């Protein structure tokens, strides 16, 4: 029995499902999750000493690879000053200045402790600002585990959703509309059916939680126009895409500026963090400036702000990083497509910058229904074949992969060699 198997058996007695976040349990691919011991650069080392090239990178934050010197140095300098104050610090101001300088939509910003906190708070602020109750989200977009976001789609564009999780009330579901991603007509129909009732539309501008799905040409701009016309707050959830797809996130890459933005992951350099912000008139609703209440003991934590500032400043001072990531991402995606084609597997590969997904379906993937057509048993076999070859992928067909600057040309070739062998193994 491996050390991972032993630890997982212990964990299942103590922790629900044996994990502290569901996808880690390997339920959708089978088998026992790998417990990690350490990581540096592109490499993960598990508790049994086996090494893997990491294509998850803590679900996005480790854009410079694991344990980058620039972040470790910042933490080393911050540590002696204590771990938490519950009082304002200089770095909170400096991080806010940097975020506002780099992200087009931000005029004011509030730091929190997670992406879920950021999205929950942004929705509350939008409701307080507009005086409206309902929100609209897109099927397959994940915005954390706030009640408003755990709503399954209704039967059509005009129907309300139903709770997707026990513990979410029907009342919450009544205030949440869901429509397919990339379907502007469905958004228009939902607005028309709920006149002057929508406080916000929230979206992952590039989706990472049904696998990687790109917005159709004109889709984001169309949302912007609809929200402006109907006085709806447009919220871009850039927890994944912020500082990953461009210095200013997806909103910079696609040239569409939302009213509010939520951030996380990269802005903490690997430590727990989140942020929400946007137009000053909206953000001035937040207490103590306004009446919309939101608070957090560890918000603006001195270690998280030190790590995040170090990573963001590095990215700001080295814009060539984004071209490097784009090149690596394209090589991986194109190589995967070519291998699948040579093997007679008509699979879909979606890629935007340093995020990509291999979908085990021959049809284009533009929304959740498309993604659901994937061959999940084949993906599970492929996942384990890659794991056995030292390639660590997301243990779900419906999660994007994230590349770091630590992925070298040599590691690209290692990935592609493993991909070819694993696809063959998965289909025999």
* Distance separating alpha carbons of residues 387 and 415, to the nearest angstrom: 11
**171 CB neighbour count, 10 Å cutoff:** 9
In order, the DSSP letters of 337-392 are: HHHHHHTT---EEEEETTEEEEESSSS---SHHHHTTS-HHHHHHHHHHHHHTTEE
Q: Which residue has the tokens 């990935």?
A: 415
Question: Which residue, chain included where needed, has tokens 């600002």?
Answer: 129
Residues 15 and 66: their CA atoms lie apart, in Å, by 26
Nearest CA among 259, 212, 215 for reference residue 240 = 212
Structure tokens belonging to residue 423: 């696809």
Q: How far apart are CA 169 and CA 116, in angstroms?
A: 18
Catalytic residues: 142, 237, 265
3-state SS, one letter per residue, for 182-226:
CCHHHHHHHHHHCCCCEEEEEECCCECCCCCECCCCCHHHHHHHH
- Give residue for tokens 């009640």: 147
| Cα–Cα distance measured from residue 399 to residue 131, given in angstroms and rounded to the nearest whole number | 35
In contact, 69 and 37? CB cutoff 8 Å: no
- Which has the closest alpha carbon to 280: 112, 98, 125? 125
B/e letters for 45-54, b = 16+ CB within 10 Å, e = fewer, are ebeeeeebbb
Longest dimension (CA), the chain: 63
Assign 243 to helix, strand or coil. coil
DSSP state of 238: -
């Amino acid at each position: 029995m491996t050390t991972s198997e032993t630890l997982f058996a212990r964990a299942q007695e103590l922790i629900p499902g044996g994990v502290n976040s569901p996808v880690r349990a390997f339920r959708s691919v089978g088998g026992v999750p790998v417990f990690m011991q350490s990581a540096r650069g592109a490499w993960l080392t598990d508790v049994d000493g086996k090494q893997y090239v990491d294509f998850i990178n803590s679900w996005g934050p480790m854009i410079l690879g694991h344990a980058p010197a620039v972040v470790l140095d910042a933490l080393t300098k911050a540590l002696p000053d204590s771990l938490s104050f519950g009082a304002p610090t200089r770095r909170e101001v400096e991080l806010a200045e940097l975020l506002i300088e780099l992200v087009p939509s931000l005029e004011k910003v509030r730091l929190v402790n997670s992406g879920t906190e950021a999205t929950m708070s942004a929705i509350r602020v939008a409701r307080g600002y507009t005086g409206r109750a309902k929100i609209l989200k897109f099927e397959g977009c994940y915005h954390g585990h706030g009640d408003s976001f755990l709503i399954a789609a209704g039967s059509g564009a005009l129907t309300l959703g139903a709770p997707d999780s026990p513990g979410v009330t029907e009342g919450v579901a009544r205030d949440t509309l869901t429509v397919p991603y990339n379907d502007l007509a469905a958004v228009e129909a939902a607005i028309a059916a709920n006149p002057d009732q929508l406080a916000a539309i929230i979206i992952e501008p590039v989706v990472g939680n049904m696998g990687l799905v790109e917005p159709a040409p004109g889709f984001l701009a169309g949302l912007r126009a609809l929200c402006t016309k109907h006085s709806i707050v447009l919220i871009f959830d850039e927890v994944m895409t912020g500082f990953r797809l461009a210095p200013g996130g997806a909103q910079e890459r696609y040239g569409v500026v939302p009213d509010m933005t939520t951030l996380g992951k990269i802005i903490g350099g690997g430590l727990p963090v989140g942020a929400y912000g946007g137009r000053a008139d909206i953000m001035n609703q937040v207490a103590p400036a306004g009446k919309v209440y939101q608070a957090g003991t560890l918000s603006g934590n001195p270690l998280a702000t030190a790590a995040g500032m170090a990573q963001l400043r590095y990215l700001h001072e080295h814009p060539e990083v984004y071209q490097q990531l784009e090149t690596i991402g394209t090589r991986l995606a194109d190589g995967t497509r070519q291998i699948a084609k040579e093997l007679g597997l008509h699979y879909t590969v979606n890629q935007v910058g340093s995020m990509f997904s291999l979908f085990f379906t021959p049809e284009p993937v533009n929304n959740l229904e498309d993604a659901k057509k994937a061959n999940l048993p084949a993906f599970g076999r492929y996942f384990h074949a890659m794991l056995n070859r030292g390639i660590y992928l997301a243990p779900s067909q419906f999660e994007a992969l994230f590349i770091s600057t630590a992925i070298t040309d040599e590691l690209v070739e290692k990935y592609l060699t493993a991909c070819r062998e694993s696809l063959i193994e998965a289909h025999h």
